[in-house]
């Protein structure tokens, strides 16, 4: 009788090949990784990675290009925390480019697009602003726009006892101003603001034109972000999605002009002539811009895109939380198997693969990395956070935010991004490949993401790997050991047998 491979080896469990190269596709819940040897602390684990050939990040987390997940606020937050966000393309070209620009122009602690009024505006205009935005310290410039000469500032105490709300601001504004010069550091500006005892600190250029504002209420919140994902000019990095459609060539040019760091060709089935042609064209025209191609789930698909010039592959067809692609289109692949095979192929070309969709908790991120992914792309996990687009609302007393698939009927009726991704833009009858729904409030990503990443550090520590490249080395040297788990083992691996319990909101599905 042939002896099993585990009996031949002194190691328990199996190498990844024995688990994944089988006749049944599997996903994250179907297997576990056996623990390795620990001789270091979780804080010694580095999560630094590459999300594409030339774009490095300090944490392996990317937000999905979805209209309920990534706009500029999400992208700024994730970049500050060490990941990267991909601005969705269910937006007009101008609006998407403006979102990219907002991320590129962001300066930590500085408000680079403050609301500005002119001396001719009235106190009533200040009231309007206070009502809409909840603050009342407004810089006044000659013509009421940013980058025009600063002439005054109007604070609450300048207007609160004034009966005549139609008075022009010229009559009430403070003209003795404490300002800071353009280029001032965060620490210096904080110091000036602290000493001046003012509410707002305008930042002006040499000609006295307003370029930014700093707010006292933000003073305590201003901190450094050592993990921030930045380009060589120290601007935050950002990605943006585009389709392969000819009319989106203009979108691509505009995104590049505004400084996008990573273009993501957003397609549910990326193995197409359109995508290969676009990759070849772009690599000739703009070799300096990295392109993430996809989505793919097989080696054949992925290799074709790498050969056409892809700088990263996005893996996943059907695993997304809002996704009904596999039920509708009959095509797709179980996610862990898809990531394993494509990563194995792409590792020969040193091209990172990104595990996109179906990540429900910290363990799934760690497992995606363990089967070869360089980063995880997440939609539902990050949706519902303060930084995701949309307002909170209540249903049965639970605070929720909307979350929807880009190929849900609702999203396809938007500016076209969703419909283009799923190749149904020109169709009279649109078949949905996604649903729309809601997710619970997750609070701010400033707490949530560090929590997730600390969890991933613990997971790597348990596997005995100090960083993602060591993890991948162990994977391909068959040192990392895997074991499938039965349905009963899966049930036992979750909370069970309790009458009730309190779930940690974060990272538990
Ligand atoms: P999640 O992290 O499980 O929520 O999955 C997010 C991923 O689902 C995205 O990054 C997309 O790849 C994918 N996706 C987004 N919208 C749709 C859709 O409408 N149908 C199918 N997949 C989608």
* 97 and 124 inside one domain: no
Task: Tell me if 499 is assigned to some domain.
Answer: no
122 secondary structure, DSSP code: B
Ligand 1, atom 22: closest residue by C-alpha: 323
Task: Tell me if 31 is assigned to some domain.
Answer: yes
pTM for the model: 0.86
Count of domains forming the chain: 2
* 244 and 186 inside one domain: no
Task: Tell me if 505 is assigned to some domain.
Answer: no
Ligand 1, atom 10: closest residue by C-alpha: 64
From 220, 240, 258, the end of a domain falls on 220
Give pLDDT, residue 414.
Answer: 66
| Cα(448) to centroid(ligand 1), Å | 20
Q: Which domain CATH number covers 176?
A: 3.10.580.10
* 191 and 74 inside one domain: no
Instruction: Say how far apart CA 375 and CA 57 lie, in whole Å.
Output: 9
Give pLDDT, residue 425.
Answer: 61
Instruction: Say how far apart CA 492 and CA 80 lie, in whole Å.
Output: 38
* 160 and 241 inside one domain: no
Tokens 């996008």 belong to residue: 260
Ligand 1, atom 8: closest residue by C-alpha: 320
| Cα(24) to centroid(ligand 1), Å | 23
| Cα(417) to centroid(ligand 1), Å | 13
Instruction: Say how far apart CA 310 and CA 492 lie, in whole Å.
Output: 41
Instruction: Say how far apart CA 194 and CA 117 lie, in whole Å.
Output: 25
Instruction: Say how far apart CA 181 and CA 479 lie, in whole Å.
Output: 56
Listed residue (86, 57, 56) closest to 74, CA to CA: 86
Tokens of 323: 């996704």
* 335 and 469 inside one domain: yes
In 226-277, at which residue ranges do the beta strands (DSSP E only) sit? Answer: 239-242, 262-265
Task: Tell me if 5 is assigned to some domain.
Answer: no
* 128 and 272 inside one domain: no
Ligand 1 environment, Cβ below 6 A: 64, 66, 295, 316, 320-323, 325, 356-359, 377-381, 405-408, 433-434
| Cα(432) to centroid(ligand 1), Å | 12
Contact between 112 and 205 under an 8 Å Cβ cutoff? The reply is: no
Give the CA radius of gyration of the chain. Answer: 25
Give pLDDT, residue 243.
Answer: 94
Task: Tell me if 330 is assigned to some domain.
Answer: yes
Instruction: Say how far apart CA 268 and CA 202 lie, in whole Å.
Output: 46
* 101 and 120 inside one domain: no
Tokens of 130: 């206070």
Instruction: Say how far apart CA 411 and CA 419 lie, in whole Å.
Output: 8
Listed residue (319, 389, 315) closest to 352, CA to CA: 315
299-308 and 273-285 helices cross at what angle (nearest 10)? Answer: 30
Give pLDDT, residue 431.
Answer: 84
148: domain range?
110-220
Give pLDDT, residue 427.
Answer: 66
* 175 and 240 inside one domain: no
| Cα(400) to centroid(ligand 1), Å | 19
* 473 and 403 inside one domain: yes
Give pLDDT, residue 159.
Answer: 87
Instruction: Say how far apart CA 211 and CA 467 lie, in whole Å.
Output: 41
What atom of ligand 1 comes closest to residue 408's alpha carbon?
19
Tokens of 400: 């929720």
**444 exposure class (CB count in 10 Å sphere: 0-12, 13-18, 19+):** exposed
Q: Considering all CA atoms of the chain, what is the largest pairwise distance in Å, rounded to the nearest integer?
A: 97
Mutate to test the pocket of ligand 1, among 294, 295, 323 (most ligand atoms within 8 A of CB): 323
- Cα 84 from chain centroid (whole Å): 5
Task: Tell me if 9 is assigned to some domain.
Answer: no
323 is annotated as an active-site residue? yes
Task: Tell me if 95 is assigned to some domain.
Answer: yes
Ligand 1, atom 21: closest residue by C-alpha: 323
- Name residue 265's beta-bridge partners: 242
Q: Which of 73, 404, 421, 481 is catalytic?
A: 421
* Digitized pLDDT (tens) for each residue of the chain, 509 residues in all: 444 555 567 889 999 999 999 999 999 999 999 999 999 999 999 999 999 999 999 999 999 999 999 999 999 999 999 999 999 999 999 999 999 999 998 877 788 888 899 999 999 999 888 877 766 689 999 999 999 999 999 988 888 888 899 999 999 999 999 999 998 888 888 889 888 888 889 999 999 999 999 888 777 666 778 999 999 888 999 999 999 999 899 999 999 999 999 999 999 999 999 999 999 999 999 999 999 999 999 999 999 999 999 999 999 999 988 888 888 889 999 999 999 999 999 999 999 999 999 999 999 999 999 999 999 999 999 999 999 999 999 999 999 999 999 988 888 876 555 566 666 666 677 888 889 999 999 999 999 999 999 999 999 999 999 999 999 999 999 999 999 999 999 999 888 888 888 877 655 45
| Cα(66) to centroid(ligand 1), Å | 8
**223 exposure class (CB count in 10 Å sphere: 0-12, 13-18, 19+):** exposed
From 170, 192, 220, the end of a domain falls on 220
Tokens of 19: 């688990």
* 63 and 193 inside one domain: no
Contact between 96 and 256 under an 8 Å Cβ cutoff? The reply is: no
From 165, 190, 220, the end of a domain falls on 220
Q: Which of 237, 258, 314, 323 is catalytic?
A: 323
Task: Tell me if 198 is assigned to some domain.
Answer: yes
* 83 and 121 inside one domain: no
Contact between 346 and 339 under an 8 Å Cβ cutoff? The reply is: no
- Name residue 214's beta-bridge partners: 201
* 178 and 280 inside one domain: no
Q: Which domain CATH number covers 26?
A: 3.20.20.70
What atom of ligand 1 comes closest to residue 434's alpha carbon?
19
421 is annotated as an active-site residue? yes
């Amino acid at each position: 009788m042939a002896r099993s491979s585990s009996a031949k080896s002194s190691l328990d469990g199996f190498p990844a090949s024995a688990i994944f190269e089988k006749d049944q596709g599997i996903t994250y819940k179907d297997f576990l990784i056996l623990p390795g040897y620990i001789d270091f602390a979780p804080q010694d684990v580095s999560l630094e990675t590459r999300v594409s050939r030339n774009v490095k990040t300090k944490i392996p987390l990317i937000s999905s290009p979805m209209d309920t997940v990534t706009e500029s606020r999400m992208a700024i937050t994730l970049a500050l925390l060490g990941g990267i966000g991909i601005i969705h393309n269910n937006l007009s070209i101008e609006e998407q480019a403006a979102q990219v620009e907002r991320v590129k122009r962001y300066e930590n602690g500085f408000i680079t697009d403050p609301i500005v009024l002119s001396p001719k505006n009235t106190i009533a205009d200040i009231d309007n602003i206070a009502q809409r935005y909840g603050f009342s310290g407004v810089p006044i410039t000659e013509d009421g726009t940013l980058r025009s000469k600063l002439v005054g500032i109007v604070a609450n105490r300048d207007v609160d006892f004034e009966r005549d709300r139609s008075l022009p601001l010229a009559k009430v504004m403070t003209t003795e101003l404490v300002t800071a010069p353009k280029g001032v550091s965060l620490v210096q500006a904080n110091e000036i603001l602290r000493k001046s005892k003012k509410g707002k600190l305008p930042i002006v250029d040499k000609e006295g034109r307003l370029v930014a504002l700093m707010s006292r209420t933000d003073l305590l919140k201003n901190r450094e972000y050592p993990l921030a994902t930045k380009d060589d000019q120290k601007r935050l990095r950002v990605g943006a999605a585009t389709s392969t459609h000819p009319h989106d060539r203009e979108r691509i040019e505009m995104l590049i002009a505004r400084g996008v760091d990573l273009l993501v060709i957003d397609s549910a089935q990326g193995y197409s002539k359109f995508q290969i042609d676009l990759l070849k064209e772009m690599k000739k025209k703009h070799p300096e811009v990295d392109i993430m191609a996809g989505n793919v789930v097989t080696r054949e698909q992925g290799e074709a895109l790498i050969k056409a010039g892809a700088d990263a592959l996005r893996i996943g067809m059907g695993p997304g939380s809002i996704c009904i692609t596999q039920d509708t289109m009959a095509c797709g692949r179980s996610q862990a198997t898809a990531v394993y095979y494509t990563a194995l192929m792409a590792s020969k070309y040193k091209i990172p693969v990104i595990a996109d969709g179906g990540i429900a908790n910290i363990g799934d991120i760690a497992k995606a990395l363990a089967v070869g992914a360089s980063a995880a792309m997440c939609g539902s996990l990050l949706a519902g956070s303060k930084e995701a687009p949309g307002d909170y609302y209540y249903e049965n007393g639970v605070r929720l935010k909307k979350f929807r698939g880009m190929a849900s009927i609702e999203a396809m009726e938007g500016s076209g991004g969703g419909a283009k991704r799923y190749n149904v833009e020109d169709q009279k009858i649109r078949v949905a490949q996604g649903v729309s729904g809601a997710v619970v409030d997750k609070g701010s990503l400033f707490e949530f993401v560090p929590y997730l990443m600390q969890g991933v550090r613990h997971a790597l520590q348990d596997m005995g790997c100090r960083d993602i490249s060591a993890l991948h080395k162990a994977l391909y040297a068959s040192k990392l050991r895997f074991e499938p788990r039965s349905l009963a083992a899966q049930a036992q691996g979750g909370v069970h047998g309790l009458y009730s319990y309190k779930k940690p909101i974060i990272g538990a599905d």
